Structure 1
């Protein structure tokens, strides 16, 4: 008898992944692929959307024909800030523009002159001025720099919804993609910002549906529930929201460390924007106050520089475990030693000064400084919300020094680390399921670990 499964395409910038989950959300199959980037009309590298489309269809047909699995549902999780533009025949009008593509500063300035002031606009939309990373600005850019191309657009779909459209032919919009630093959504009005209507951008944005919407279709002679797609950050947050009864902050670590607070019901302030806070969105349209820190990027730069200084291999840092005696020694006459490469901080010196004769001490000092930055970022995300629970996932969740220091500096919070490479894929499967998650879900599926602060001498 075939195993009943939910299929999920999880599309990252680098890796394209496909998963099958059983009824208990256990992974039963996975497949990965990478595509070479192509160039847009300006020669800027971007996603090969045609190759991606072809892979999706071929892989899904292969799985449908497999003897082992009975696919009951399919959903899609992808990175954000990316629009696919379709003409009246459903054909691609433009390449999938890369959100790192530079945008004309004069055009951005003209936008804020018309619809600003910038800080107030950013607070309302939960979106700092980030060029193409604000997907709404991509539409403004197209309209004002490529008007003939813009006129051909019947629908603009965020990437998760385009994935769904490939299988359903139904153009839709949904909350998590709209609310993710797009500059499209007014969090006070709970509607598109007035600029969207004034520029008549709303005419090419399909109807908005709940992220939990699914379309029951006869696909290749088989009844399948097809989801409308979900933005990957919101998707990764969903299992925590569904299974935790108390308010929490999730610190999702990697190149960026993003502190996500789904329990803040206030509009961002100008001060929040100045502190680099933005909004993501939950599947029900509620804001998720978030603070960003370029932690992983900075960490890599600094540990490589330290390894070079002491003549060690670049991966030597992975062998270092937390030493409370070293911590107390460093804290006695503590001074800031590290000049950051990609982070601005008032405490950092004019240049890095390594005052230790061994890697382990210098590394502990580095981690104290980085964790103090992380603590500030978490507190910015928390704002005035009373939160006593903290989850840490991603690359730093298994860094012993980072976790021990974080639990020490946030002693009034209960810190738990989780380990799930499935993250956003699992969230996408859950979002179209009627299954209720219990409090044991994270423990069973995410290797949940509780951390107790070390004893202060």
Structure 2
């Protein structure tokens, strides 16, 4: 008898994956693809939308032929801040512009002058000023720079909803994408910001539906429950919300290290916004106070620098063990290690350190992680709230023993765990529509935890 499963597309900037999950949320099938980026009209790199579209169709066609599985539902999660602009026939009108594309200064100044200034818009929309990462500003730019194309836009869909559209043909919007540093959502009024209607954008955004909605769809001759898609950071939080009722903070580590506190409902201050705090949305439409640093990106750069200086292969650092004696030595060599971080910085202190001060690559790497953790400590404390006794760390740094020990020592009176959810984003995306495809109760064993004790006081 075929095993009932859900198909989940998990689309990251680098890897595009299709998973099949059974009713116990075990991954029973996985397929991965990577595409060569293409360029927009300005020569800027961007996602290959044609390849992504073909991959969705081809992947589904392949898994539908697997006799051992009975696919009950389909859902999608992707990276955020990315719009697909469709004409009335559902055909993309532009490339999928990169959210790191530089935003024109004159257009930025014009927008904020028109709608109350940076501080006002930032506080209303619970987002720092991020240029193209404020995806609503991408729409504003399209209207101003390419008015002829803007007039042809029938639907402007965030990437998760575009993937859903490919199967359902329905243009919808979801709060996890709309509410994620887009400048589109007014958190103080719990509705679209006034500029969205004034600029003629509201009617292009599709019908706003609950993120746990499904659209019954006939595809290739069979009916499926199809989700409307989720922003990946919000999806990754769902397994934790499903398994833990006591207040916690999730530190999701990757290219960005994002601290997510779904139990902090205090509105963001202007000062917090300037320190890269923002709000996400849970799939239930509840604000999640968050802070973030670009630590994974810095890790890649500094790891390359250390490896080159000491003539070591970068991959060897993955297996480096925590060495308390090195930490003691570094605390003596750099007295500032014992000081508490008192200000926000976009990078850690390590890029300014002279590598000639270190005797070994291991010593340099321990100091680098120490500097990263000090930066992370400050970022975490921006969103910590009363009652939070546990921090769950998932993603790449959760597997880094040096990082985990040093973080545990940096946040006293709080239990720090390395958490492991096999493909948390995919599992969360499946959980969001659990009742639409799964008759079993949500299992309590989805998350594996490893506790890290604080360092001895002598450290």
TM bin (shorter chain): over 0.9
Which residue of 374, 377, 382 maps to 1:372? 374
| TM-score normalised by L of structure 2 | 0.92
Tell me, yes or no, if the aligned pair for 2:175 and 2:283 is still in contact at 8 Å: yes
Residues 1:442 and 2:443 are matched in the alignment: no
Q: Write the distance in 2 (CA, Å) between the matches of 1:32 and 1:76.
A: 14
Aligned to 1:388: 389
What displacement does 1:385 show?
Answer: 4.1
| TM-score normalised by L of structure 1 | 0.92
Q: Write the distance in 2 (CA, Å) between the matches of 1:211 and 1:349.
A: 41
Aligned to 1:174: 174
Which deviates further from its counterpart, 61-70 or 19-28?
61-70
Which deviates further from its counterpart, 262-271 or 326-335?
326-335
Which deviates further from its counterpart, 158-167 or 384-393?
384-393
Tell me, yes or no, if the aligned pair for 2:24 and 2:442 is still in contact at 8 Å: no
User: In structure 2, do the counterparts of structure 1 residues 407 and 170 end up closer, same or farther at CA, with 3 Å as the change threshold?
Assistant: same
Tell me, yes or no, if the aligned pair for 1:176 and 1:231 is still in contact at 8 Å: yes
User: In structure 2, do the counterparts of structure 1 residues 351 and 116 end up closer, same or farther at CA, with 3 Å as the change threshold?
Assistant: farther
Aligned to 1:320: 320
In the TM superposition, 1:410-429 aligns within 5 A as: 410-420=411-421, 422-429=423-430
Aligned to 1:362: 364
Which deviates further from its counterpart, 22-31 or 114-123?
114-123
Aligned to 1:33: 33
RMSD: 2.1
Instruction: Structure 1: state its 5+ residue gaps.
Output: none
What CA deviation, in whole Å up to 9, does each residue of 1:218-248 have, x standing for no partner? 3233221110000111111111111111111
Q: Write the distance in 2 (CA, Å) between the matches of 1:44 and 1:329.
A: 46
What CA deviation, in whole Å up to 9, does each residue of 1:318-374 have, x standing for no partner? 34322223323433463359xxxx954697796536534233333323322221111
Q: Write the distance in 2 (CA, Å) between the matches of 1:356 and 1:8.
A: 46
Give the aligned length.
448
In the TM superposition, 1:8-87 aligns within 5 A as: 8-87=8-87
Aligned to 2:109: 109
Q: Write the distance in 2 (CA, Å) between the matches of 1:214 and 1:252.
A: 27
Instruction: Tell me the SS of whatever aligns to 1:96.
Output: coil
Aligned to 2:455: 454
Q: Write the distance in 2 (CA, Å) between the matches of 1:388 and 1:104.
A: 43
Aligned to 1:278: 278
Tell me, yes or no, if the aligned pair for 1:298 and 1:343 is still in contact at 8 Å: no
User: In structure 2, do the counterparts of structure 1 residues 430 and 40 end up closer, same or farther at CA, with 3 Å as the change threshold?
Assistant: same
Which deviates further from its counterpart, 77-86 or 44-53?
44-53
Instruction: Tell me the SS of whatever aligns to 2:246.
Output: coil
Q: Write the distance in 2 (CA, Å) between the matches of 1:109 and 1:401.
A: 43
User: In structure 2, do the counterparts of structure 1 residues 441 and 109 end up closer, same or farther at CA, with 3 Å as the change threshold?
Assistant: same
Aligned to 1:401: 402
What displacement does 1:190 show?
Answer: 0.4
Residues 1:158 and 2:158 are matched in the alignment: yes
Tell me, yes or no, if the aligned pair for 1:336 and 1:348 is still in contact at 8 Å: no
Q: Write the distance in 2 (CA, Å) between the matches of 1:79 and 1:348.
A: 29
User: In structure 2, do the counterparts of structure 1 residues 345 and 94 end up closer, same or farther at CA, with 3 Å as the change threshold?
Assistant: closer
What displacement does 1:378 show?
Answer: 0.8
Which deviates further from its counterpart, 260-269 or 294-303?
294-303
Instruction: Tell me the SS of whatever aligns to 2:265.
Output: coil
What CA deviation, in whole Å up to 9, does each residue of 1:85-121 have, x standing for no partner? 1222222222222212222110011001111320221
Q: Write the distance in 2 (CA, Å) between the matches of 1:59 and 1:172.
A: 23
User: In structure 2, do the counterparts of structure 1 residues 310 and 41 end up closer, same or farther at CA, with 3 Å as the change threshold?
Assistant: closer
Aligned to 1:209: 209
Q: Write the distance in 2 (CA, Å) between the matches of 1:168 and 1:194.
A: 30
Q: Write the distance in 1 (CA, Å) between the matches of 2:348 and 2:98.
A: 33
Tell me, yes or no, if the aligned pair for 1:6 and 1:22 is still in contact at 8 Å: yes
Q: Write the distance in 1 (CA, Å) between the matches of 2:443 and 2:27.
A: 18
What CA deviation, in whole Å up to 9, does each residue of 1:149-176 have, x standing for no partner? 1111111111111111111111111110
